[in-house]
Amino acid sequence: MSDVQLGRQADRGGRDPETVELEIDEDGSPVTLEPASWFVCFVPGLQKQWWHPLVNKRHKHVFAMRPAGPGEWTLFEPWWHRLLTATITAEQARKFLLWGARGDVLLVREAIPGQGSQVRGWMTCAALASYLLGRKYWVWTPHGLYKLLLREPGVCRVDVSVLLESDLGALAAPGSRVVTACPLCSPEAPRPPGAPKPFCLNCGRDLAPGWGDRIRAQAGGEGS
């Protein structure tokens, strides 16, 4: 393609793209995005590594994923040699959630623009996940990040068995990056110290043992 053709294709409005003024939001970004909800999965290893005895038995690795539209999910997977980000199918997401069921899964809403720092140093999976979420934590192990996130209001432990029974392609509202929460999942909800945080089946969480079974029974009765 010639320089003339390239210029015409890039500048159909009759202006030089390099001189077009960009509008930016209060965070200095040309687009404004709603903070997304991530399923942050703290898992045991699938293959033995030399450093596994040095970390928590149940939380040896952490990755994150979120719904990205009908039948699609976004995967954030910090490997040892690279950082993998990919769009995967709902069936592929189910496999990662089955791995998550061997450990613990938290539903966390990211912070925009965030409070992370690029000078935190060692790029472990936990440090990268913390940076993804916009957290200011100086943490290097998955279990350390798990304990810090669990203290935050609005962070929920996910019953993966219930989540796997739901429609993985319909967790987020159309056009939204957020998994819809219920009132009991809000930061203002009263919660005894140390008590398990509430879950809601509508957003992949379970409020109390047996609650999801009652909702499924009611839904089955309405559909009959």
Selection from 74, 105, 103 nearest residue 177 by Cα: 74
User: Which residues fall within 8 angstroms of residue 40, CB to CB, at 6 or more apart?
Assistant: 62, 63, 64, 105, 106, 107, 108, 129, 133, 149
- Write down the pTM of the prediction: 0.72
Per the document, the length of the chain is 224
Amino acid, single-letter form, for residue 213: D
Q: What tens digit of pLDDT does each residue of 21-77 get?
A: 878 767 667 777 778 889 999 999 888 888 778 888 899 999 999 988 788 899 999
Q: Hey, where are the domains in the chain?
A: 37-223
What token pair was written down for 2?
A: 């010639």
pLDDT in tens, 186-212: 556 655 444 444 444 344 444 334 434
Specify whether the backbone of 201 is left (phi greater than 0), alpha (psi in -120 to 50) or beta: alpha
